[in-house]
Amino acid sequence: MVDLKKRIWIFPLISIIFSILSLSLPVAYREHATYNSYFWLSALNLRTDTGALWYNSDPLAITGAVLEILVIVIAMILLLFSVIRIYQDKLSEKLAKLNFLVSGLLLILSPLGYIILANLYVSDFWSIYIPFFGIISPFIAAGISILTIFLYKRE
């Protein structure tokens, strides 16, 4: 049987991978008759018929993108710090659990911000556009991070 205590660092590492996916994959898309439109957390947009790739230059979109990415990066740094320190066996249980909780909450905050701001920016955004894995993966990462709190025990 695998000793979970020695392998607990794998869980926050998986959470980091899902966080990277949230920054790399589109958060929403729309299928049109002749093309598709894709939107990223970074305010990057793609239209498949022309291959046009551009950043939304609206100040609200740019501000939201910067804040949402910053929140995810801070969560990833906390998780990476925890992975390294747990692997070295130099992190207290209390601090590790606090890092997992804070990073989990940050990973929930970022996509919620996008969900709310996208609906303010385009009326009925989520009725028009279909959620993609980029908006779902931070919630998965947050779930793994918070689950790690309950799995993490030190002697």
Contact 57, 49 (CB under 8 A): no
Indicate the length of the chain as a whole number: 155
Q: Which pLDDT belongs to residue 152?
A: 81
How confident is the prediction for the chain on average, in pLDDT? Answer: 92
Sequence-distant (≥ 6) Cβ neighbours of residue 106 within 8 angstroms: 71, 72, 74, 75, 78
Q: How far from the centroid of its chain's Cα atoms is residue 124's Cα?
A: 23
78-87, 134-143, 145-154: least confidently modelled range = 145-154
- Tens digits of per-residue pLDDT, 10-34? 999 999 999 999 999 999 999 999 9
Summarize the confidence of residues 112-138 as an average pLDDT: 94
What tokens appear for 110 in the block? 């970022």
Q: Which pLDDT belongs to residue 15?
A: 98
Model pTM above 0.85:
yes
Summarize the confidence of residues 103-125 as an average pLDDT: 94
Say whether pLDDT at 46 is over 80.
yes
Summarize the confidence of residues 88-112 as an average pLDDT: 94
Say whether pLDDT at 5 is over 80.
no
Q: Which pLDDT belongs to residue 60?
A: 87
Long-range contacts at 2-8 (CB < 8 A, ≥ 24 apart): 4/151, 5/153, 5/154, 5/155, 8/86, 8/148, 8/151, 8/152
Summarize the confidence of residues 88-114 as an average pLDDT: 94
Q: How confident is the model at residue 120 (pLDDT cuts 50, 70, 90)?
A: confident
Q: Which pLDDT belongs to residue 87?
A: 86
16-20, 25-29, 93-97, 151-155: least confidently modelled range = 151-155
- For 114-128, b where at least 16 C-beta lie within 10 A, e where not — what string? beebbeeeeeebeee
List C-alpha distances in Å: 115 to 24, 37, 62, 131. Answer: 17, 17, 15, 10
